[in-house]
Structure 1
Amino acid sequence: MPTRSRSLLRLAAAVSLLPVAGLNAQVQHQHHPPQSSGEYAKVLEDPTRDAWQKPHEVVMALELKASDTVADIGAGTGYFSRRFANHAGKVYAVDIDRDLLALAAKGAPANMSTILAQPDDPKLPAAGIDTIFLCDVLHHISDRPAYYGKLRGALKPGGRIVIVDFYKKELPVGPPPAMKLSDDEVKKEFAAAGFRLVKSHDFLPHQYFLVFQAR
């Protein structure tokens, strides 16, 4: 993948995760992105993220089974992937950044492996995934209708896609509203792609939490 494309996606995700003090701080951060995967990893693994991301509560809400296969799209350093591996049978940490995946793989549980994806293709095995999870990632994907088709092809019968992303409003964390997708937009896009909303959760302070299955 071109270095510029990788850098832009890394920058977008970094903007999503760092707390900011108004638009000026967001713009300043956009002009000064993390200079290395190691620096970006510190953003992803910042302990203060746990307070609003509530990773344990998110994992528990998914009610994973020991036989499940989970794909964490945009996994980065494996912030969620490592947690999924404690509850699922197999976990794929999927990202477009080779260096971040190398960090995710260090000390990873035996049931967790990495997939180097492309921006337009998650490279998942066909009909092999029970739960596809995207956290703070969906609003960075360009051709989402085509991408949804590829995700659908990777789901086992009865499988689900889980979307966690920022509400489209001013928040103390995340990108500016113009970069975000509202929960209504996401619901409409998935409906158009042949999915139905089967569950939602509202315990996250800054993000919606939606679960879809193919119709």
Structure 2
Amino acid sequence: MGHHTFDADRADDLERPDRYRYLSAEELLWALDLDGAATVADLGSGTGFYTDDVATHAETVYAVDIQEAMHEYYRAKGLPESVELVTSGVEELPFETDQLDAAFSTMTYHEFASDEAIAEVNRVLAPGSRLVIADWAATGEGESGPPLSERYTAEDAVEMLRSHGFSIGHEAVRPETFFLVVTV
């Protein structure tokens, strides 16, 4: 499967408001169900498009991306006060065990999906915490996003998450994407 990263030279493409047709800011915030004191991680934050939407609803949002070029773009765009940049892969997150109140991944699950990464996310989320995933579906037509061969089905994602101790609270399959809300 995939495990590629988005080309940082195309970072401007991540700032287009039409991305909300796949996941609205309101839907993401509903799924995260944050209080203002939450500590959250955006896994695969890129330019911070969705990070910005969450930043005013949490005390701290860690924008986690493996590409320093994406952080440079985000810095140039302007960081909200509550956002801290973290350059890391999801397999080795630099957080304490049970440190996070929530985490989310918007169109990046296919880039890091592995047993190591999912176990690591479970480690850093506090018991009862939510993980929200919206990603390109292997059942889609490929109108946007990565090639179909690099995508996962919702069923594959659910199976992997369950095998690492997550409980599925909400699952939706859409024409090009899937949307999951799970808890530790």
Q: Does 1:42 align with 2:12?
A: yes
List per-residue Cα deviations over 1:144-170 (Å, max 9, x = no partner). Answer: 111111111111121121111122221
Matched with 1:172 is: 143
Matching residue of 1:187:
158
Spell out, residue by residue over 1:41-79, the C-alpha distance to the aligned partner (whole angstroms, 9 max, x if none). 211112332333323332234322101111001001101
Matched, 1:9 2:5: yes
For residues 109-157 of structure 1, the C-alpha deviation after alignment (integer angstroms, 9 at most, x for no partner) is: 1111110103632323331111111111121226x11111111111112
Q: How many corresponding residue pairs?
A: 180
Structure 2 CA distance for partners of 1:87 and 1:52, relative to 1, 3 Å: same
| Unaligned runs of at least 5 residues, structure 1 | 1-5, 12-36
Structure 2 residue matching 1:48: 3-state secondary structure: helix
> More displaced, 39-48 or 49-58?
49-58
> More deviation in 179-188 or 39-48?
39-48
TM-score, normalization by structure 2: 0.86
Alignment of 1:57-76 (within 5 A): 57-76=27-46
Which structure: larger Rg? Answer: 1
The equivalent of 1:116 in structure 2 is 87
Q: Which aligned pairs between 1:71-150 and structure 2 lie closer than 5 A?
A: 71-106=41-76, 107-118=78-89, 120-141=91-112, 144-150=114-120
Q: Distance in 2 between matches of 1:162 and 1:197?
A: 10
Q: CA deviation at 1:97?
A: 0.8
Q: Structure 1 counterpart of 2:53, which letter?
A: R
- TM-score by length of structure 1 reads 0.75
Say whether the 8 Å CA contact 1:197–1:213 is kept in structure 2: yes
Identity of aligned residues (%): 27
Instruction: Write the distance in 1 (CA, Å) between the matches of 2:65 and 2:167.
Output: 26
What is the DSSP-based 3-state SS (H/G/I as helix, E as strand, rest coil) of the residue aligned with 1:110? coil
2:130 aligns with: 160
- Contact 1:167–1:206 (CA under 8 A) maintained in structure 2: yes
RCO comparison, higher one (Cα < 8 Å, 6+): 2
- CA deviation profile, 1:169-197 (whole Å, cap 9, x unmatched): 21421223221100000111111112111
Partner AA of 2:17 in structure 1:
P
- After TM superposition, the structure 1 stretch with the greater mean CA deviation from structure 2, 113-122 or 52-61, is 52-61
Q: Which one-letter code corresponds to 2:6 in the other structure?
A: R
Q: Is the 8 A contact 1:69 1:88 kept in 2?
A: yes
2:181 is aligned with 1:211: yes
Equivalents in 2 of 1:123, 1:148: separation in Å? Answer: 14
Q: Which residue of 2 aligns with 1:55?
A: 25
Alpha-carbon contact 1:66-1:89 (below 8 Å) kept: yes
